[in-house]
């Protein structure tokens, strides 16, 4: 009799939990892209929008809203201070968000002031030159920079201190050049930087692996190195990493989502379960590939720990490269 009572009680508890999670499904799901339409944050939100709806994990349509300002700072501060408990709202982040947290660009808030939800993909830095460039290997570029730092011009879609600048700075450092004294031109985005590269206004572009695939097919550019721990698969499998060429430069750009600090456990667990199910599907893997991202799946506690480590690493790197906290 006691055994039956215990079984019944356990079943009732499980049913309550399941019902609670079901009720936690957001009636008005929203993804905030902390920038203007277009670009990486928008891509990240729309990846979730398509993936969750195609997999029928959301019954209500997800809307994507835009909150530009401070490369994520406005959204981060707004969600924490004004919208901390919204269970239907997720916010896109990138690896650049960790860099901004590390150097204090998000103000008084730290990486511990939000609930990190899920990483859904990654991109990797790439060092790009024109196909007919005199620098046909990463060693060529680094040795030329070492010999005549003022002659080699780097360019990317970000100002000094941005993650695109950091990629150029790491290459300059490998050449023994103070990153603050390298010749660097900042552009509004990757499109402008590629145009400047093709026009001969810059000699090397520190961009992302995902954006070069289309240009490679045209035969007008050459990728000297992918800034990943190991070679990528697919169309970029033939391109060596900087590490395998003897240079310790790795730049991984993760993309994912966080939620407000006061979101209920039931709401958070619903989203967590939804993303874990989504990431396990081959359909989502295809969707991610179509958007130029590479597999990178982390969620919940593992993601939170990873974020803390990344912010700590960026703090050290920022200090080494002469970036001061804001």
CB atoms within 10 A of CB 232: 18
Work out the percent of the chain whose per-residue pLDDT is above 70.
92
Both 208 and 242 in a single domain? yes
Summarize the confidence of residues 172-183 as an average pLDDT.
93
Both 11 and 89 in a single domain? yes
Both 118 and 260 in a single domain? yes
- What is the domain-level CATH number for residue 309? 3.40.190.150
Both 198 and 287 in a single domain? no
In eight-state DSSP terms, residue 28 is: S
Q: Last residue of some domain: 216, 236, 251? A: 251
Task: Encode pLDDT of 127-167 as tens digits.
Answer: 999 999 999 999 999 999 999 998 999 999 888 888 889 99
The DSSP code sequence of 149-217 is TTT-EEEESS-TTSHHHHHHHHHHHHTT--GGGSEEEE-SSHHHHHHHHHTTS-SEEEEEGGGTHHHHH
pLDDT confidence bin for 23, thresholds 50/70/90: low
Structural domain including 92 reads 2-123+253-320
Integer Cα distance of 215 and 43 in angstroms: 19
Q: Last residue of some domain: 251, 280, 300? A: 251
Both 87 and 10 in a single domain? yes
Both 13 and 81 in a single domain? yes
pLDDT confidence bin for 306, thresholds 50/70/90: very high
Using a 10 angstrom Cβ sphere, with 0-12 exposed, 13-18 middle and 19 or more buried, the burial of residue 173 is buried
pLDDT confidence bin for 13, thresholds 50/70/90: very low
Summarize the confidence of residues 87-104 as an average pLDDT.
93
Structural domain contains residue 242: yes
Inter-axis angle of helices 39-54 and 282-290, to 10 degrees? 150
Structural domain contains residue 297: yes
pLDDT confidence bin for 324, thresholds 50/70/90: low
Q: Last residue of some domain: 216, 251, 286? A: 251
Using a 10 angstrom Cβ sphere, with 0-12 exposed, 13-18 middle and 19 or more buried, the burial of residue 251 is buried
Structural domain contains residue 326: no
Pairing of strands 183-186, 153-156: parallel
Structural domain contains residue 106: yes
**Residue 45: predicted pLDDT:** 96
Both 257 and 149 in a single domain? no
pLDDT confidence bin for 322, thresholds 50/70/90: confident
Both 183 and 240 in a single domain? yes
pTM of the model: 0.81
Pairing of strands 204-208, 115-130: antiparallel
Integer Cα distance of 295 and 272 in angstroms: 17
Lowest mean pLDDT among 67-71, 145-149, 235-239, 284-288: 67-71
pLDDT confidence bin for 19, thresholds 50/70/90: very low
Both 141 and 214 in a single domain? yes
Number of domains in the chain: 2
**Residue 101: predicted pLDDT:** 94
């Amino acid at each position: 009799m006691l055994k039956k009572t215990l079984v019944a009680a356990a079943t009732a508890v499980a049913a309550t939990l399941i019902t609670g999670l079901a009720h936690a499904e957001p009636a008005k799901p929203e993804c905030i892209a902390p920038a203007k339409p277009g670009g990486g944050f928008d891509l990240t939100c729309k990846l979730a929008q398509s993936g969750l709806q195609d997999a029928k994990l959301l019954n209500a349509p997800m809307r994507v809203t835009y909150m530009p300002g401070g490369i994520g700072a406005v959204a981060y501060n707004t969600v924490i201070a004004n919208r901390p408990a919204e269970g239907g709202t997720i916010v896109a982040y990138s690896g650049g968000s960790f860099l901004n947290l590390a150097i204090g660009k998000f103000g008084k808030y730290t990486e511990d002031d939000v609930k990190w939800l899920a990483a859904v993909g990654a991109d990797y830095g790439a060092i790009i030159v024109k196909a007919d460039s005199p620098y046909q290997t990463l060693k060529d570029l680094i040795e030329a920079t070492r010999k005549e730092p003022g002659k080699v011009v780097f360019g990317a879609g970000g100002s000094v201190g941005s993650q695109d600048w950091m990629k150029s700075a790491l290459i300059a450092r490998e050449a023994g050049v103070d990153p603050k004294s390298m010749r660097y031109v900042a552009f509004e985005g990757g499109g402008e930087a590629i145009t400047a590269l093709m026009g001969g206004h810059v000699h090397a572009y520190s961009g992302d692996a995902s954006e070069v695939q289309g240009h490679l097919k045209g035969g007008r550019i050459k990728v000297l190195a992918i800034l990943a721990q190991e070679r990528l698969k697919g169309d970029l499998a033939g391109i060596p990493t900087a590490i395998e060429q003897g240079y310790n430069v790795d730049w991984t750009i993760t993309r994912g989502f966080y939620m407000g600090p006061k979101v209920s456990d039931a709401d958070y667990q619903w989203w967590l379960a939804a993303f874990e199910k989504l990431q396990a599907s081959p359909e989502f893997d295809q969707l991610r590939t179509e958007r130029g991202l590479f597999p990178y799946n982390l969620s919940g506690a593992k993601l939170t720990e990873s974020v803390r480590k990344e912010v700590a690493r960026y703090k050290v790197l920022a200090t080494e490269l002469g970036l001061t906290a804001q």
